[in-house]
């Protein structure tokens, strides 16, 4: 039985371990953090997750989707909140199509539980990876609590240790290794809307709530306990930024200035957030990074997956879904090939173009979420696309649906999305389209453009 070391017990690492264990490998997972099932998760660092079709496929592949569905809430569209507190619902896809809100922490706990059920999987916590020898496939760990160092040998090493991966860091020393990281000018801060006093949700639970404000936005995703995990995406510097709300030396003035900004900018959200001031100043501000690298493997010895190989910004909700899809693609290739070097090469060559594509799409979707969802022409365009998809499902599938509700490779979705974008720009230039799009005559004009 081959022994495998998985570094990182996050979402992708835990799921990958289940796949490997079910194939008969002895799996040891090493995690820097303490066991979150036993210790309280620190607030302020989380963005709730949105499970979509690619993620569900990854869970179904090892028979655990039903367990995860018990802790997930379907969201059928975006609920847009304008500056006057009025709302507008925009469905994501066809009737009953949804993305599913799930707590990152609760999902990770559940995946760890399911990984440990497998007889040949063990998770070791408080173990910081300090060095890796890729050629000899051993890793050195430092016990965070006992300060003891120890060496772990195995046949294979999988790095699922996130955007700042130690496994990837070791790969950087290889010849002709491409690597780049890019930080956004915006960061994020976690906030909270608690459950209603008598229980339940203070807003509609089956929607992803967005307060789009041009250069920044607030979002809220529902939790099972009736609360919403909110995330403020905000520039670090500038007129309206984390810096501008944090310039007063006197704490009461800082609090008053921050609260005044929120009351003016998110008027219907503030009454739902009784601990807003405390949360804002207590929770940390985190950065958003994009990581691009290649190759993802070292010979037949090691492979990186998930954020370690393709960290992305969260605005398409595909970071986790893409990581779970890594697991299903790897599993398929493992069923087709026998030697690990071939498996690793086929995997990275097939996934790299798709990772690049979804990273690009995620950046684009930030602009859509913070700017365009409140624009009347954009909303009209989405309605026209939805009508085209409903009437001609074999000819027109909107980009969002390709990414979220299908298994079309991301690179193909990006290419088709670019083609659709050029056509829809022509559609939106049709004189009087805002009035004619629902008429037979208007639809004939649209069809002549998009199906020419």
316 with 443, same domain: the answer is: no
* Strand ranges for 76-215 from DSSP E: 77-81, 87-91, 99-102, 121-124, 127-133, 138-143, 149-153, 156-159, 178-193, 208-212
What stretches of 42-103 show up as alpha helix (H) in DSSP? Answer: 53-60, 65-69
Contact yes or no for 191/37 (Cβ under 8 A)? no
Residue 310: predicted pLDDT? 98
What's 343's domain CATH number? 3.50.50.60
Range of the domain at 423: 375-450
Mean pLDDT of the chain: 93
Residue 43: predicted pLDDT? 52
Question: Residue 259, CB half-sphere, CA atoms under 13 Å: how many?
Answer: 14
Model confidence at 331: pLDDT above 80: yes
311 with 424, same domain: the answer is: no
Model confidence at 177: pLDDT above 60: yes
Does residue 372 come out as left (phi exceeding 0), alpha (psi in the -120 to 50 range) or beta? Answer: alpha
Residue 428: predicted pLDDT? 94
407 with 334, same domain: the answer is: no
Residue 252: predicted pLDDT? 63
Residue 196 falls inside a structural domain: no
How does pLDDT run across 87-141, given as a tens digit for each residue? 999 999 888 899 999 988 889 999 999 999 988 999 999 999 999 999 999 999 9
383 with 441, same domain: the answer is: yes
342 with 298, same domain: the answer is: yes
417 with 305, same domain: the answer is: no
32 with 127, same domain: the answer is: yes
Model confidence at 354: pLDDT above 90: yes
Residue 251: predicted pLDDT? 55
Residue 15: predicted pLDDT? 97
Residue 358 falls inside a structural domain: yes
Percent of the chain with pLDDT over 90: 85
Task: Using pLDDT thresholds of 50, 70 and 90, give the confidence band for residue 45.
Answer: low
Percent of the chain with pLDDT over 70: 96
Residue 172 falls inside a structural domain: yes
Residues 78 and 217: their CA atoms lie apart, in Å, by 13
């Amino acid at each position: 039985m081959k022994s495998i070391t998985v570094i990182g017990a996050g979402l992708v690492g835990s799921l990958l371990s289940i796949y490997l264990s079910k194939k008969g490998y002895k799996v040891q997972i090493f995690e820097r953090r303490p066991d979150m099932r036993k210790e309280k998760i620190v607030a302020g660092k989380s963005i709730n997750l949105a499970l979509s079709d690619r993620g569900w496929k990854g869970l179904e592949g090892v028979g655990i989707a039903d367990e995860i569905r018990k802790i997930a809430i379907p969201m059928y569209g975006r609920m847009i909140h304008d500056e006057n507190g009025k709302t507008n619902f925009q469905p994501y896809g066809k009737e009953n199509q949804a993305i599913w809100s799930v707590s990152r922490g609760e999902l990770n706990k559940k995946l760890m539980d399911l990984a440990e059920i497998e007889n040949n999987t063990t998770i070791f916590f408080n173990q910081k990876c300090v060095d890796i020898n890729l050629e000899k496939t051993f890793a050195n760990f430092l016990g965070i609590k006992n300060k003891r160092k120890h060496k772990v040998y195995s046949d294979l090493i999988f790095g699922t240790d996130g955007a700042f991966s130690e496994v990837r860091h070791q790969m950087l020393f290889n010849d002709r290794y491409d690597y780049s990281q890019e930080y956004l000018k915006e960061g994020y801060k976690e906030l909270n809307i608690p459950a209603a006093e008598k229980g339940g949700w203070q807003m509609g639970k089956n929607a992803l709530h967005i307060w789009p404000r041009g250069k920044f936005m607030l979002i809220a995703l529902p939790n099972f306990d009736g609360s919403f995990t909110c995330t403020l995406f905000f520039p670090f510097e500038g007129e309206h930024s984390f810096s501008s709300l944090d310039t007063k030396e006197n704490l009461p003035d800082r609090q008053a200035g921050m609260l005044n900004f929120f009351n003016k900018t998110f008027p219907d959200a503030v009454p739902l957030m009784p601990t807003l001031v405390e949360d804002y100043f207590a929770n940390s501000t985190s950065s958003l990074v994009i990581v691009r690298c290649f190759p993802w493997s070292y010979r037949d010895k090691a492979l990186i997956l998930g954020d370690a190989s393709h960290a992305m910004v969260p605005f398409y909700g595909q970071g986790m879904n893409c990581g779970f899809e890594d697991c299903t693609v790897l599993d398929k290739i493992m069923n087709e090939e026998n030697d690990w070097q071939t498996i690793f090469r086929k995997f990275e060559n097939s996934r790299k173009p798709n990772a690049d594509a979804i990273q690009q799409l995620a950046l684009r979707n930030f602009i859509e979420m913070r700017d365009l969802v409140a624009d009347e022409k954009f909303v009209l365009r989405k309605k026209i696309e939805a009508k085209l998809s409903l009437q001609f499902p074999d000819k027109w599938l909107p980009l969002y649906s390709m990414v979220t509700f299908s298994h079309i490779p991301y690179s193909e979705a990006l290419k088709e999305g670019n083609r659709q974008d050029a056509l829809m720009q022509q559609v939106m230039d049709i004189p009087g389209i805002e009035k004619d799009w629902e008429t037979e005559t208007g639809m004939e004009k649209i069809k002549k453009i998009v199906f020419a």
